Amino acid sequence: MSAAYLLLRNVVKSYDGRVNAVDDIDIEIRRGEFITLLGPSGSGKTTTLMMVAGFENPTSGTIELDGKNLTRQKPYHRNIGVVFQNYALFPHMTVARNVAFPLKMRGTPKQDVARRVAEALDLVGLGKFAERYPRELSGGQQQRVALARGLVFRPDVLLLDEPLGALDKNLREQMQVELKRIHREVGITMVYVTHDQTEAMTMSDRVAVFNSGKLEQVAPPLEVYHRPATRFVGEFIGDSNFLEGRLDAGTGSLVLEGLGEACMPAARGAVGSGGVHVLIRPERLRPIDGQPAEKFAKVVELVVEGSVNYGDSVLLIGKAGNVPLRVRVSGAQYGAVQEGTTLPVGWTADDMHFLPRA
């Protein structure tokens, strides 16, 4: 028996019988976990969320919650909360009445409704706004009302479909902090959909990366970033350098196309011999700054062709020979690097992550 609280097994969704919008995915979500479904538009993440909510039926496969089969249950028979990007608040109702709505639909005794609405509004910091109308609130406050409404009936799972997408950068960051605080305090299982990598990386216990209806990887954020399971994940998450190379397990050599031989790490995983993709994150490439070349697995001459200054850091974009490279360096030290500058940079054996090349 699976230890998962929310289980999706071999789930497929096709709208036309030819192309699968969700293609045979398996996810096991633990009780109390905050998991993010991350991927580009059209990758299947929102369709997956809607199948968990019951708004879409799987073409095949099963969805279970705490050991009970939900696959064909109607949405109103599932004790699942949903928070949408557009808030979906009733404009003619006060904040308190909006939050009370799911309780009244479930026949909650009147003497309990006011108490639970007050608790939910206090949880999201809107206790003083109970008698206001949605039009009198900011976007961030409206999103908090939607969150309180999703939590007030104490759902088994809370689903959040890009809930911060309509907010500006500062409000998004504030709400990210608030959502994590609420998750810690309430301990509810949350399934969050976004295409925003920063949200996924900063908020999640685990990230499920979708691509063209398939699951590429499900892992904690740092594992997804530092040890992506596929090239797609490595390119989609963060900034990346992918070099093409060839490993020879017999001789222990690594040859990078266009750059020559490099030192290979003692433990490189189960890649074996043959062609490999070598991922090196831009921040793992470092200027030599007079250090002995022996400290590095490889040293190359980067010819800078452009830069993006972020203030605290600078992304240098250029080439080593004919190989494109991106190097992230300190803004204080390298903010004035000019186009055409040649900068010796290197990386260690441990800075490389290998993926087999088909």
For the stretch 111-144, pLDDT in tens is 899 999 999 999 999 999 999 999 999 988 999 9
Higher pLDDT, 215 or 88: 215
Rounded alpha-carbon distances, angstroms, from residue 264 to 130, 256, 269, 345: 62, 11, 12, 17
Instruction: State how far the Cα of 302 lies from the Cα of 280, in Å rounded to an integer.
Output: 15
List, as one string, the DSSP characters of 117-174: HHHHHHHTT-GGGTTS-GGGS-HHHHHHHHHHHHHTT--SEEEEESTTTTS-HHHHHH
- Per-residue model confidence (pLDDT) at position 169: 83
Lowest-confidence region among 149-163, 168-182, 336-350 = 168-182
pLDDT tens digits for range 236-276: 999 999 999 998 766 668 999 999 999 876 655 545 668 89
> C-alpha angle 316/330/224, rounded to 5°?
75
Per CATH, the architecture of 239-356 is what?
Answer: Beta Barrel (2.40)
Instruction: State how far the Cα of 65 lies from the Cα of 4, in Å rounded to an integer.
Output: 8
Lowest-confidence region among 87-96, 225-234, 266-275, 282-291 = 266-275
pLDDT tens digits for range 45-98: 999 999 999 999 999 999 999 999 999 999 989 999 999 888 889 999 999 999
pTM over 0.85: yes
Instruction: State how far the Cα of 123 lies from the Cα of 120, in Å rounded to an integer.
Output: 5
pLDDT score of 213 more than 90: yes
Per CATH, the architecture of 6-232 is what?
Answer: 3-Layer(aba) Sandwich (3.40)
- Per-residue model confidence (pLDDT) at position 292: 85
Q: What φ, ψ does residue 286 adopt, rounded to 5°?
A: -130, 140
- Per-residue model confidence (pLDDT) at position 267: 52
**Can you state the angle between helices 95-105 and 139-151, rounded to 10 degrees?**
20
pLDDT score of 1 more than 50: no
pLDDT score of 320 more than 90: yes
Place of tokens 């996924």: 200
User: Any idea where the domains of the chain sit in the sequence?
Assistant: 6-232, 239-356
Segment 96-110 shows an average pLDDT of 94
pLDDT score of 208 more than 50: yes
